[in-house]
Structures are given as C-alpha cells and as structure tokens.
Amino acid sequence: MDIVLEICAGSPASALAAQEGGAQRVELCDNLLEGGTTPSYGALALARDRLAIGLHALIRPRGGDFLYSELEFEQMARDIELCRRLGVDGVVLGLLTADGDVDVERTRQLAGLAGPLAVTFHRAFDMARDPARALEDVIAAGCRRLLSSGQAPAAPQGAALLRALREQAGARLAVMPGAGVRADNIAALRRQTGCLEFHASARAAAASGMRHRQSGLSMGAPGADEYARQETSAQLVRELARQAAQA
C-alpha cells in the first residue's frame, strides 16, 4: 500500500515546497522552535488558496505543557471555527489533564466543533502516563489519527510502542510516526511499525537575502542569528517519499 507523507510546515512557502516534493498533506504551524503553535489567519488563508494537497492546521495556543486554561480552551475553539470557515481539511490538537491523562471531555468538545474536519491528536500523547489507556481515550474523543514518537525522543527509538499502538488501534484510528523521521530511516520505520502515514519536517537552511546586516543586535533569543532560518526543502521531501516507497 502507498504511504501518506505529512510535512510539518512553518510557513506557506514551506507548505508549497512540501507540495512540490510530493507530500500528500501539510500540517501548517508557527513557532516550530517551541514545538509549533497555531498559524496566523493570513498563513492559513494563503496556504489554502495555493495548495492542492491536504491542509491541516495545528491548534495550539502556546508552547509548553498541554494543560490549558479556560481562556486558552476558548481560543482553541475559535481557531477551529476559523479553520472551518477557511476550508482547511483537518485540525491537529492535544489536551491533557494535570495527572497526565488525555482530557477526553474537552478533546471531544473540540472534535465536535471541528465537525467534518479530520482531527489528529498530536504528540501531547507522548507526555501521557499510560499510552494504552491514552490511545483508547483519543479514539473515544473522536480523533481519526494519532501523531506520536512512541513516547521516545524520536520515532525510530519508539518503534516498538508505535507498532503496539497501531495493532491496538486496528481500523479505528491511524497511527502516524513523527519526530526524527528522515530519508535514511523512514523505510526501516515503515517495516518496524507497519504504519502507512508518516510525519516529517524535511527542513534545510534558507539563506537570507539581506545585504545589510546589523551587528551586535538580536531581535530574538540572545546570540540568535537573525539571518538564518529553516524552511521545508522540496528535495528532502522528494527523497523521503522515494525511500519510503522502497520499504
């Protein structure tokens, strides 16, 4: 069976590069250095206008943990409503309780607001205390897909749990390995897990076009290079797809 390759894109430009490289779907985010947050209206609208492949939006109001206040929950709900109006294909979310369980009730509420949109439960799952129970909770909450590294720093290290989760889920939910998925390990990961959907960033350094460069100042973190950024590479996406197809 053919695989589905989802690319985590931090900008409309990266989303278009993912499409050029042959990805079937994009997860559009902002602030990837914090693990991703919800992209802006402008980014979502532009991506929707330009993409012919699937477009999913990350619904995450901030970096940090996945225990959200009522105000943050309302923000997530409003962002989902916006995604529906823009014609986005799916949303990606994850909520936990203070005790490390899936917040089933609030996840179910957000999935209900999403309506016909596909709902993916993201790597908040990897911070849950009991993965087998968390999987059942994710399914009960109405999610169609689980993005996980197998509760490991990277998916290749979590391959055994990812396979167990896929077997536990059966046809009820798609398990999608993510984190550390690269062209040099995706084929082995496919064989080890039996999964058919994979999530990767495929980013490479993008050169700044600035000729004038102000020294001694930084608008971001101390010591950060203002003239360096990472964008999705169509070539890396293409190689990911090629290697996965050979498994």
> What pLDDT tens digit does each residue of the chain (247 aa) get?
689 999 999 999 999 999 999 999 999 999 888 889 999 999 999 999 999 999 999 999 999 999 999 999 999 999 999 999 999 999 999 999 999 999 999 999 999 999 999 999 999 999 999 999 999 999 999 999 999 999 999 999 999 999 999 999 999 999 999 999 999 999 999 999 999 999 999 999 888 888 898 887 777 677 677 788 889 999 999 999 999 888 7
Cα dist from 4 to 58, 176, 184, whole Å: 18, 9, 17
* pLDDT given for residue 13 in this prediction: 96
- Which residues make Cβ contacts (< 8 Å) with residue 23, sequence separation at least 6? 5, 6, 7, 53, 237, 241
Cα dist from 101 to 63, 91, 169, whole Å: 19, 20, 18
Residue 49: other Cβ atoms inside 10 A:
10
Residue 16 and residue 53: Cα distance in Å, rounded? Answer: 9
* pLDDT given for residue 71 in this prediction: 98
* pLDDT given for residue 1 in this prediction: 62
Here the contacts of 169-176 (C-beta below 8 Å, separation 24 or greater) are 169/135, 169/139, 172/139, 173/135, 173/138, 173/139, 173/143, 173/144, 173/145, 173/146, 174/144, 174/145, 174/146, 175/145, 175/146, 175/148, 176/6, 176/120, 176/145, 176/146, 176/147, 176/148
* pLDDT given for residue 215 in this prediction: 80
| E strand segments, 1-143 | 4-9, 25-28, 54-58, 90-93, 118-121
- Is the Cβ–Cβ distance between 139 and 173 less than 8 Å? yes
